[in-house]
Amino acid sequence: MADSVLRLDQVLIPEDAPIRFGTDGWRGIIGAEFTFNRLLRAAKAAAAVLYQTYGKDREPRIIVGYDRRFLAEEFATAVAQLLTGQGYQVWLSSCAAPTPAFSWAVKAEAAIGGLVITASHNPSIYAGLKVKGAFGGSVPTAITQAIEAQLTQGDPPAVGQAKPAYATFDPWPSYCAALRTYVDAAPIREAIATGKLHVCADVMHGVAAGGLERLLEIPIVEFRRDRDPLFGGGAPEPIGRYLTATQEQLRQQHSATPTVCLVFDGDADRLAVIDGEGVLYTAQEIIPILIDHLAQHSPYRGAVIKSLSSSDLVARVATHHGLAVIETPIGFKYIGDRMLAGETILLGGEESGGIGYGHHIPERDAFLSALYLLQALVTSGLSVGEYYQHLQKMTNFYSTYDRVDLTLASSGQRQKLETTLAAHPFTQILDFPVSNWQTVDGYKFHLADDRWLLIRFSGTEPLLRLYCQGKTPEEVQRILEWASQWAVTVAS
């Protein structure tokens, strides 16, 4: 496996190469796959499909937003100018903002959809385009397939006479006001003011900068608040390898006051947490806490949606509260589709940190999740670790989890791995016989006592992802090392 994500076939890609949408929009390397010309083609096709799908009883209004990446404002402005010339009423954001804020704006302003220039958590060489439907969330697969089809049919017609100009707007005020209708910030502010809870944030150089201060209306210490399109040489993804410096800083600043450092990804739709001792808690620990809190202390009810790679504790806590559990393939668009299917949904979450709520918009929203988590800690008087341990004891379910990402140097490596898995699925992993396996999204191998190993390919990057749930951290690492070695051997 190669360490570099920059491949020759991406650098030399033709301008007319097909544009393909993955699990959440289209992403590509800036200057290779993602260029102004290719973006404008994609934006024109996406706008046409949004108009055809949602424009029957609406003005042809489109929200255009962007993150803090290299050329993000310029890409967004180019899209706004293009669509204005096509007769659309374009609202271009006046600043970088969270993706869920743009999704909320689409719904609140009765737009036909939104186009957001963001590559979310991907490394700095990527840019991307997320397409939002009139309902306020990522469009379903049928819509992205229609956009891909439109791209092969030439330029779509204009929807009206060219507008004289696009409008600009600030998405933050409406978004913050909406979140405050779900969570009363006063008890959280009081806990912080009286020293019962210390709250800080790592915004990873992304759009979450200043967001907690806006929501809580008090000063919040933030790490990596400045805009850095290189993301310090890493990626704005809230996973361990990119958080070691923050974890060490929190350990050095350790105090008797319970500490919660909320970690946001590049476009603020994913969340993780670090405590005052530098311990990282991912969505695998956060989601069960949120389910338990909302089931007891909110007026909302409904089923819980979990992705294939989510901890089994999610299902155990939901079942404890009498809530139905729905499992989907990985990618929040599948969760969003179920939210739109007419069922009453309490919460939907995925292992990578994306969590959404049926009473909000069918979109993952890290800021609403952060507010609910803070509310849960203030209400319970527990730390994140204590709350998680309480849930393990309550359900009598103890497990640990980790994930490894391996970079693919070529499409040939992926084909080798896929062919081998299809022809020779595992029947035993180390000392553990495989009881059964699922092929809903990759290959999920079930072992004894709720252990499992999931092998799948990323929908947004050239990566092979290995996920594992086991009984101890050591056991999980042994299984992941075994799977990594298998992948390297097959792909070589």
In a 3-state reduction of DSSP, which class is residue 11? helix
Tokens at 8, concatenated? 């020759």
- Do residues 321 and 295 lie in contact, with contact meaning Cβ atoms separated by under 8 Å? yes
CA–CA gap between residue 272 and residue 376 (Å, rounded): 15
pLDDT the model gives residue 5: 52
Pick the CATH number of 182-395 from 1.10.132.20, 3.20.20.70, 3.40.50.1100, 3.40.120.10: 3.40.120.10
Residue segments in the chain with a per-residue pLDDT below the cut of 70 = 1-11
Tokens at 197, concatenated? 């809870």
CA–CA gap between residue 366 and residue 353 (Å, rounded): 8
CATH class held by domain 400-491: alpha beta
CA–CA gap between residue 175 and residue 389 (Å, rounded): 33
Alpha helices in 411-472 (DSSP H): 411-423
Pairing between β-strand 61-66 and β-strand 89-93 as defined by DSSP bridges: parallel
- The full DSSP string for 136-169 is SSBPPHHHHHHHHHHHTS-PPPPSSSPPS--EEE
pLDDT the model gives residue 108: 97
pLDDT the model gives residue 255: 73
- Which residue spans of the chain are classified as CATH 3.40.120.10? 8-171, 182-395
For domain 8-171, give the CATH number: 3.40.120.10
Q: For 187-202, how does the pLDDT look when each residue is reduced to its tens digit (9 = 90+)?
A: 999 999 999 999 999 9
Q: For 267-294, how does the pLDDT look when each residue is reduced to its tens digit (9 = 90+)?
A: 999 999 999 999 999 999 999 999 999 9
CA–CA gap between residue 294 and residue 183 (Å, rounded): 11
- Which residue spans of the chain are classified as CATH 3.30.310.50? 400-491
Q: Determine the Cα angle at 283 with ends 279 and 284, to 5°.
A: 85
